[in-house]
Amino acid sequence: MALVLSGQGEKTSPVLKWTRKYSAYLCYPLALAGIVWLLLLPLPSFSRRAYFSENAMMPGQAKTAFGTHEHVAATNMIDTELQALQESNKDDAATRASALLGVFEKLGLDSEMQRFKFEHVPGIGETKGTNVHGILRAPRSDAVEALLIAASWTTSDNRTNINAVRLMAGLAKFASEQTYWAKDVIFVVTDSGEKGIEAWLRAYHGINAVAPIHVRSGIIQAAMSLELPAAAKYSELGVFFEGKSGELPNLDFVNIVQRISQIERIPAFLHGMRDPPRGASLYERYMRSAHLLLRQVRSQAIGLTVGVHAPFLRYRIDALTISGIVSADDPVGSQSSVTGGVAPEMVSPATIRALGRTIESTMRSLNNLLEHFHQSFFFYILPANQRYISIGDYIPAAGLMVGSLLFQAMHLWWMQGSDDLRSSNARTRIERMNKYYSLLRRTLPNGLGIILRVHALGVLLLAIPLVVPHAVLTHTTSTAYVFTMGLASISMVLHISDVYWAARKRALVDWRQLKALIEVYVAVALACLSVMNFSLAVVMFAVVGLPLLVTRVCEYTTKKQRVANLVVLLATSPICVLGLWRTALLGLNPMDFASSPFRLFLEDFHHFSSLMYPLLCLVYWPVNLLCMVVALIP
Amino acid sequence: IASYNSVEELYLSFTQGNWRQDAWGYPPTRSQGVGAEVVARINGTEEESQRKWKGLTNALSGVFCASLNFIDDENTSVPRLAFNAQTRKNGDTNVAERHATLRHGFLPRENVCTENLTPWIKQLPCQAKSGLGALLNPYRLYNMHFHSMGISLVPVVGTTGGGQTGLVYKQHITVVLDSRTFELGNSWTLGELMDRDIQEACPVASKSTVRVVIPGEGVQVFPEPERRESLAGQNTYVYDIQRQNAAEIRFETANAADNKEAPTQLPVVAAHRHVNGHGGSGGGVETEIINRGSQPLEITYFDSLPWYLRVYLHTLAIEAVGSDGRATKLHPTETMFTPAIDRGRPSSIELTMTLPANTRTVLRYSFDKGFIKYTEHPPDANRGFNIGPAIISYRSDAHRPLSCALQTPRPRGQSECVVRVYTELFLASLPTPDFSMPYNVITFTCTVLALFFGRIFNLLTRDFAVLKDSD
């Protein structure tokens, strides 16, 4: 209450007086500082060199043994099995699964096949999938911990992942000969990507066990997923580590993979992006880092284009994807982009050996772990290979942004009402207080009412697809649904502003007060978000916070200002942003007009309960509308 | 030790590695739970036997160089159904009258190694000098897939007459070795496998025999045995090592690749237990008990969880899924639940129920994870807490399981024996503080306090006065 009262200059502390005096001038510099801070992040001096925090792992210390003739021969097993089964002409997914099961059993793993179904969006579109997993029991261990290697039959860009499955067979053969395992090793192959892994993980953790599995091991400590599209050789690898809603594996895990792959001469780069050459200029380095950071921000914030490792992170399993990068002139990689049909050629034995040793060595490091990953950072962004920016160095940017919103909110709260409320004439004090309270009593319920009404619309937007799944039956219908809701929202905004325009003599609502309330709300939401998922918070600030800051900077004097403001708001409205920026933000094919981002978010929310869908419906959409209301009311 | 602590029955075993029933069939020993297990029936009143149990575990811990002294109230449970089955069936009603309490302690974190083996070997009549004991090469014994060793004291009616009850002391060791690990081919002798040789039979022993149980077709044993007999329905070759050097018994297996067929007899009951859920707040235990037999079977389920896993009994659900995929609810015929006391005793569940034929029974209950004080975390690397296995015991009337067939002398008049199935351990990962953080905080606050205290103390205790020149 002190803050509410102090707005009128009563009993203020010096600090409040000071902020009151300067808050108007502080908010824009703060926002600017936040943005500059973000722009500085790619600078080499901002990041630190990666190091290994957990000494027990001893990356690259073990002598690698993978790559004997038998191991390479084992990679062929899956092809032989597939051929044997293909003659019986069965359906493709089932053939592959049973072929793989055969391979796992031949290698002496405890294996099982899991058939499951999943819905595309809640209530609609069932797809069947099959997972096969084999568990290598560690000798003389108590089977309470496990490491996991996963692969999907198709890579995330829809190429066949046969080489990963082949390599897996080789690794299983190799691992079953070793006696040093302290943890079981689980091999999982799914035929439906992230959703398949999610179904497997749910069954494994006994959550919502529709398709239970019976062959299990203990707690999974770490997981690696492999993506090796058809190619003759890979000269470098890519590491992908972002989770669905900004979860990250422990930094140590990323580091050991990078270090070991370097030792094995098949270097793994973050997102497959090479470092700039040694003599590169600062500008070149900066641009490269900025590009890498932007890619991370995109994966972390949107979470649509990650990898098979993403579901693991939700179960507190550190995971990442190692992906083979096919060079453009690869003889095998260029010809076969089709999945199924004739299995493409094998990778060269040398590549198999290097890959296998990289994974073997990583597995041994993980095997050395005495406890769950906990030493190194869990919150970081990686501006270049083997460099990191820790949470302490990037979170101030978010703080500055949130701060700017808060300062503007304070300023607006003090400035609400007419000018005579702020006159310092002592004789009118009582009168001024009365006026102030009557203003609050008159406008506050209306302001809160507007906020509630607009949010109710957001709830509706969120809930309708869950209650009436047919609204989002296909991508086209969901686009139509979003546009319908967009029209409904616009008419709601127009209606609200119309009502208050009609009664503008009575000053039922005060735009400063309304904006201050929204700003406080957005600031709180962003502050919470920034510690969970920094990238998402930054993106949200760009599409929600910044437009809010520039909405009705001061009282409009001309109509042009109002129109310009509305144009800005429309440009940053969810429909516009998702429609126009889909390529940049979501990584969708620019020509792919058939897929609706809204539906993709809904799918993600349904399968992985990722944050994007509720945030879109409950924060982004309503706040954008509220900004329009602020711009439109008298 | 036994008489001092009025032990009536004792069983102690150290185990490492899971017994993989599906591949290895019936276990030849009683215990397969990973860790160290002590079961003892101690005479006397409640308090007395409590005290003696403490004494017993401490004594055993000294004898076997193991950390059995860590078995205290917090991980000792008093099962009433699970282990009593044997005696009760005997009609030995005196037990209850004599106030003997059976206690069961389990240390799932215990690692077995040579320092436990050496005292065990020392108790053999000829130690490792001669006889079979000479074969026990720790380098080979611990490069294995499964290892269990232990001792037991079983009461039997004395053979010396008078019907007096005596205790029979038995030592057992079970090892599963893979000849491939030692780069032995398909043909090896016992001596080669253990990398030791037997010079002579133990001169003190009145009888020492080796029995080789032939599991199936693929194995051939040379030389010809002195005697063949049938044990647990399997061919058994008997050698008297006073005449035949056991180290020279040669095994020839068919090619490993062809020898992949399933074991000749899968145990009737198999059980697996795992923990559900993730995260630090709660979870559940799910146990699958498979009855492969064609007849309904009465089993006793015993599970003991430490106090920091707070079990909710109302969440207990038992469901039997038949081969046709239909699920039916099962109700235990007898339930005993001992709730836990924080830092006092573990909770334990004992259930008796009848499994329908050919079913997979799933037993579920959930728990909350409690917070434990940071000093209560063990000083080792923290990967979570190992939780001891659940034990399922059932009566097998056939002489099929090897452990039953080997049970000599058999308690009087008993035609059936109790088989126990141990499930896997699981890891309970509790919310863990970052241990380096309290350390930093402690050092920091101590420094601040020290500086602060020093100044204040100085100010309080010293009296500053201006001295005049004249003084």
- pLDDT class of A51 with cuts at 50, 70, 90: confident
Measured distance CA(A200)–CA(A131) in Å, rounded: 7
Q: Could B17 and A139 be called an inter-chain contact, meaning their C-beta atoms sit closer than 8 Å?
A: yes
Alpha helices in A280-348 (DSSP H): 282-302, 310-314, 331-335
* CB contacts, 8 Å: B35 with chain A: 142
Q: Which of A104, A111, A115, A142 to mutate to test the interface with B (most CBs of B within 10 A)?
A: A142
Give the tens place of pLDDT for each residue, A202-247. 888 887 667 788 888 888 889 999 988 888 788 889 999 988 888 8
Closest by CA position to B374, among listed B429, B430, B432? B432
Whether residue A142 and residue B278 make contact (CB cut-off 8 A), yes or no, is no
Main-chain phi, psi angles of A22, to 5 degrees: -105, -10
Cβ pair A137:B146 closer than 8 A: no
Is the pTM higher than 0.90? no
Q: How do residues B158-217 score in pLDDT, each as one tens digit?
A: 554 455 566 778 888 888 877 666 766 667 777 777 777 777 777 777 777 777 777 666
Residue B197 and residue B182: Cα distance in Å, rounded?
16
Give the nearest partner residue to A144 out of B17, B279, B426, using CB atoms: B426
* CB–CB contact B147 A110 (8 Å): no
**B167, B2 contact by CB (below 8 A):** yes
- The lowest-confidence range among A47-61, A185-199, A280-294, B147-161 is B147-161
Q: Is residue A552 helix, strand or coil?
A: coil
User: Which of B195, B108, B116, B103 has the alpha carbon at shortest distance from B149?
Assistant: B116
pLDDT at A525 over 90: yes
How far apart are alpha carbons A596 and A593 in whole angstroms? Answer: 7
Contact A233, A350 (CB under 8 A): yes
The three-state secondary structure class of A138 is: coil
Relative to beta strand B101-107, strand B35-42 is antiparallel
Do B17 and A179 count as a contact with CB atoms less than 8 A apart? no
Contact B35 A142 (CB under 8 A): yes
Percent of chain A topping pLDDT 90? 18
Quote ipTM for the complex.
Answer: 0.78
Average pLDDT over residues A507-533: 89
Contact B140, B11 (CB under 8 A): no
B353 and chain A: CB distance < 8 Å anywhere? no
> Any idea which residue has 């630190």 for tokens?
A48
pLDDT value of residue A600: 83
Long-range CB pairs of A451-454, under 8 A, 24+ apart, other chains included: A451/A514, A451/A517, A451/A518, A451/A521, A451/A622, A451/A626, A453/A492, A453/A496, A454/A489, A454/A492, A454/A493, A454/A622, A454/A625, A454/A626, A454/A629
Residue A33: the pLDDT is 93
Residues of chain B with pLDDT under 50: 85-98, 160-161, 256-263, 409-413
Looking at CA atoms only, how far is residue A249 from chain B in angstroms? 15
- Nearest Cα neighbor of B434 from A22, A258, A633, A375 is A375
The Cα of B151 is separated from the nearest Cα of chain A by a number of Å equal to 21
Whether B288 has its CB under 8 Å from any CB of chain A: the answer is yes
* Residue A497 clears pLDDT 80, i.e. is over it: yes
DSSP A385: T
Q: In the prediction, which pLDDT does B185 show?
A: 67
Q: What is the pLDDT of residues A553-608, one digit of tens each?
A: 777 778 888 889 899 999 888 888 887 776 666 666 655 666 778 888 888 888 88
- Cβ atoms of A417 and A488 within 8 Å: the answer is no
Position A390 pLDDT exceeds 80 = yes
The residues near B69 (Cβ < 8 Å, ≥ 6 apart) are: B57, B58, B61
Q: How far is B66 from chain A (nearest CA, A)?
A: 18
Task: State the pLDDT at residue A399.
Answer: 92
- Residue range A486-510: mean pLDDT, rounded: 86
Higher pLDDT pick, B204 / A533: A533
